[in-house]
């Protein structure tokens, strides 16, 4: 059968692209090597980790957060097997949802490993080794990313003692000590899960700050919050070895600026040093598809590779490795292939760290504006001055808004708070419409809400906040 579009990969980028293209009238097929749809995100990434984050937060809240509200309960008992069952049920529900969307939109799904034979032809090899060939006008590569490992260090990840995020969401017992190599989003999220469930957690990070490219104010203050919760940090530290021992594993590291090597022992080591594009076995070299110096597929402004009829989106191309960025690219590309004018505004892509409190960001950081020589102004407002936050005992954190000094146009927003990931979107919508901090500050916000802190930060950006 001939298709208008064959998508290789059914993660957020691939399945959303397929659904949108089908909605626009194209005949679509999807090739997926897993037995279930949804890619890394739905199966072993975003979705299961959020199930564990929520469950561990509830456990911690029951243990430490209810007495001050006048609720006296006995110490909670952890049933890790049941918590993992909740995670698995969440995954099952989501992947089945993607299957339903494929059926609803008459998308043909092919289970097996996809390979580009040439422009217009994709072969699919099943588990039985048999291959079939699909003919198509267009091919979309949406194969996502894989764990990157530690540069220059040979690590044997067994997903039991030395684990990636895949093993990090599936431990059968709470480790006494977990070492997290990498202070980025994945490491801090999964580290916080096991810390709340009773593990001692130590983070070893190459940079001098956690959360890499986040706003400096955010990373410094957030690190203090995590340290207060019990998470230990070794920053500016280069890992030189990760090895199994008789009782667990050990990590050897030294200061990036020079110094004596140190070794720490742990029951479990989580390697979370980032991800790399997954392009192996796709036949890209044979098809003549060009990669850049970081192994990403090169594309033009319309997601087209250097080969006519072959496109790429998501983690395999430039830009942040975020599920929602891949989704928006999938929609834009489907629209382009259907003769419309798909577009993604890369200046307004929010990112969220789903710890407690959450960290959310959109647009530019203060450091980026300084580096670009942009004249800007800053408004900040702490949740200690927010009535709803006080009522909920959730006063940790702040809102920070950055706006152009001359035009007042909002260039970035950063929130550390309970529910920050939900609050960031009003700043994102404002930025999509080119709004100013005064526009946001003059928008009536319901009282009492956590979101009033966003309004107050905006008031502080263009003039003065009321409640400070």
Which tens digit of pLDDT belongs to each residue from 2-38? 999 999 999 999 999 999 999 999 999 999 999 999 9
Is residue 56 annotated as involved in ligand binding?
no
State how far the Cα of 95 lies from the Cα of 38, in Å rounded to an integer: 6
Burial class (CB in 10 A: 0-12, 13-18, 19+), 379: buried
State how far the Cα of 159 lies from the Cα of 239, in Å rounded to an integer: 19
Is residue 304 annotated as involved in ligand binding?
no
State how far the Cα of 203 lies from the Cα of 325, in Å rounded to an integer: 28
| Whether the bond into 357 is cis, omega within 30 of 0 | yes
- Residue 143 near residue 164 (C-beta atoms within 8 A): no
State how far the Cα of 394 lies from the Cα of 145, in Å rounded to an integer: 35
Q: What tens digit of pLDDT does each residue of 329-344 get? A: 999 999 999 999 999 9
Is residue 322 annotated as involved in ligand binding?
yes
Is residue 349 annotated as involved in ligand binding?
no
- Residue 400 near residue 417 (C-beta atoms within 8 A): no
How many Å is the maximal CA-CA distance in the chain? 69
Is residue 198 annotated as involved in ligand binding?
no
Look up residue 416 and give its two tokens.
Answer: 């550390």
Query: Which pLDDT does position 1 carry in this prediction?
Result: 74
For residue 341, indicate whether it is catalytic: no
Is residue 242 annotated as involved in ligand binding?
no
Cα 69 to chain centroid, rounded? 33
Residue 145 confidence class, pLDDT cut points 50, 70, 90: very high
User: Which whole number is the average pLDDT over 110-115?
Assistant: 96
Using alpha carbons only, give the angle 338, 295, 275 rounded to the nearest 5 degrees.
95
Q: What percent of the chain has pLDDT over 90?
A: 98
State how far the Cα of 461 lies from the Cα of 453, in Å rounded to an integer: 12
Q: Which helix (H) or strand (E) holds 310?
A: strand 310-312
Instruction: Look at the block and give the residue holding tokens 């969307």.
Output: 101
Is residue 324 annotated as involved in ligand binding?
yes
Query: Which pLDDT does position 381 carry in this prediction?
Result: 98
User: Which whole number is the average pLDDT over 254-273?
Assistant: 95
Is residue 205 annotated as involved in ligand binding?
yes
Q: Where are the beta strands (DSSP E) in 33-181?
A: 108-111, 113-118, 121-125, 131-141, 145-147, 162-163, 177-181
Is residue 404 annotated as involved in ligand binding?
no
Q: Where are the beta strands (DSSP E) in 365-430?
A: 376-382, 398-404, 410-417
The yes-or-no verdict on residue 63 having pLDDT over 80 is yes
State how far the Cα of 187 lies from the Cα of 171, in Å rounded to an integer: 15
Is residue 144 annotated as involved in ligand binding?
yes
Torsion of CA 146, 147, 151, 152, to 10 degrees: -90
The yes-or-no verdict on residue 391 having pLDDT over 90 is yes
State how far the Cα of 334 lies from the Cα of 343, in Å rounded to an integer: 10
Query: Which pLDDT does position 325 carry in this prediction?
Result: 98
Q: Which helix (H) or strand (E) holds 86?
A: helix 80-104
Q: What tens digit of pLDDT does each residue of 181-201 get? A: 999 999 999 999 999 999 999
The yes-or-no verdict on residue 44 having pLDDT over 80 is yes
Look up residue 258 and give its two tokens.
Answer: 């020079």
Is residue 133 annotated as involved in ligand binding?
no
Query: Which pLDDT does position 303 carry in this prediction?
Result: 98
Query: Which pLDDT does position 258 carry in this prediction?
Result: 86
- Residue 94 near residue 38 (C-beta atoms within 8 A): yes
Q: What tens digit of pLDDT does each residue of 408-451 get? A: 999 999 999 999 999 999 999 999 999 999 999 999 999 999 99
Distances (CA, A) of 140 to 111, 231, 315, 377: 16, 42, 13, 42
Determine the 3-state secondary structure of 378 from DSSP. strand
State the DSSP code for 297.
Answer: B
Residue 259 confidence class, pLDDT cut points 50, 70, 90: confident
Determine the 3-state secondary structure of 322 from DSSP. coil
Is residue 250 annotated as involved in ligand binding?
no
State how far the Cα of 156 lies from the Cα of 162, in Å rounded to an integer: 7
Is residue 434 annotated as involved in ligand binding?
no
Look up residue 23 and give its two tokens.
Answer: 């909605």
Is residue 331 annotated as involved in ligand binding?
no
Residue 23, CB-side half-sphere exposure with 13 Å CA sphere: 13
The residue annotated as part of the active site, out of 64, 343, 425, 447, is 447
Look up residue 352 and give its two tokens.
Answer: 């969220």
N-term to C-term CA, the chain: 66
Q: What tens digit of pLDDT does each residue of 284-313 get? A: 999 999 999 999 999 999 999 999 999 999
- pTM here? 0.96
Residue 314 confidence class, pLDDT cut points 50, 70, 90: very high
Is residue 248 annotated as involved in ligand binding?
no
Q: Show the DSSP H helices in 181-254 as ranges.
A: 185-196, 216-229
User: Which whole number is the average pLDDT over 224-252?
Assistant: 96
Kindly give the pairing relationship between strand 310-312 and strand 131-141: parallel
State the DSSP code for 304.
Answer: B
Domains, the chain, ordered by start: 2-147+276-337 (3.50.50.60), 162-273 (3.50.50.60), 351-462 (3.30.390.30)
């Amino acid at each position: 059968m001939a298709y208008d579009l064959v998508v290789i990969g059914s993660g957020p980028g691939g399945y959303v692209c397929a659904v949108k293209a089908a909605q626009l009238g194209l005949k679509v097929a999807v090739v997926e090597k897993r037995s279930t749809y949804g890619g890394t995100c739905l199966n072993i990434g975003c979705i299961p980790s959020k199930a564990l984050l929520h469950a561990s937060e509830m456990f911690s809240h029951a243990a430490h957060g209810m007495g001050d509200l006048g609720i006296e309960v006995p110490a909670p008992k952890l049933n890790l097997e049941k918590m993992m069952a909740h995670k698995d049920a969440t995954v099952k529900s989501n992947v089945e949802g993607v299957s339903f969307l494929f059926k609803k939109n008459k998308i043909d799904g092919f289970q097996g490993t996809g390979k580009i034979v040439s422009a217009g032809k994709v072969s699919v090899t099943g588990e039985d080794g048999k291959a079939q060939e699909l003919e198509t006008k267009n091919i979309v590569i949406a194969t996502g990313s894989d764990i990157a490992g530690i540069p220059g260090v040979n690590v044997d990840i067994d997903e039991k003692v030395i684990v990636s995020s895949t093993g990090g969401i599936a431990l059968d017992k709470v480790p006494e000590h977990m070492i997290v190599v990498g202070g980025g989003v994945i490491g801090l999220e999964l580290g916080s899960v096991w810390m709340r469930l009773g593990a001692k957690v130590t983070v070893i990070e190459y940079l001098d700050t956690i959360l890499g490219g986040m706003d400096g104010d955010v990373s410094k203050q957030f690190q203090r919050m995590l340290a207060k919760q019990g998470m230990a940090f070794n920053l500016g530290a280069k890992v030189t070895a990760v090895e199994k021992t008789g009782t667990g594993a050990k990590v050897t590291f030294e200061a990036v600026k020079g110094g004596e090597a140190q070794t720490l022992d742990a029951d479990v080591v989580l390697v979370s040093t980032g991800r790399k594009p997954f392009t192996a076995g796709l036949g890209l070299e044979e098809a003549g598809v060009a990669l850049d110096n970081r192994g990403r597929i090169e594309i033009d402004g319309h997601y087209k590779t250097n080969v006519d009829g072959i496109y790429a989106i998501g983690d395999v191309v430039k830009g942040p490795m975020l599920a929602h960025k891949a989704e928006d690219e999938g929609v834009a590309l489907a629209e382009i292939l259907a003769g419309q004018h798909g577009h993604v505004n890369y200046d307004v892509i929010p990112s969220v760290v789903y710890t407690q409190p959450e960290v959310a960001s959109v647009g530019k950081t203060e450091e980026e504006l300084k580096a670009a020589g942009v004249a800007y102004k800053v408004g900040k407002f702490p949740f200690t001055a927010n009535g709803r936050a006080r009522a909920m005992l959730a006063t940790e954190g702040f809102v920070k808004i950055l706006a152009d000094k001359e035009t007042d146009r909002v260039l970035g927003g950063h929130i550390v708070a309970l529910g920050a990931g939900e609050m960031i979107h009003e700043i994102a919508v404002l930025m999509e419409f080119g709004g100013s901090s005064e526009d946001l500050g003059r928008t009536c916000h319901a009282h009492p809400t956590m979101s009033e802190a966003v309004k107050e930060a905006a008031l502080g950006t263009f003039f003065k906040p009321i409640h400070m």
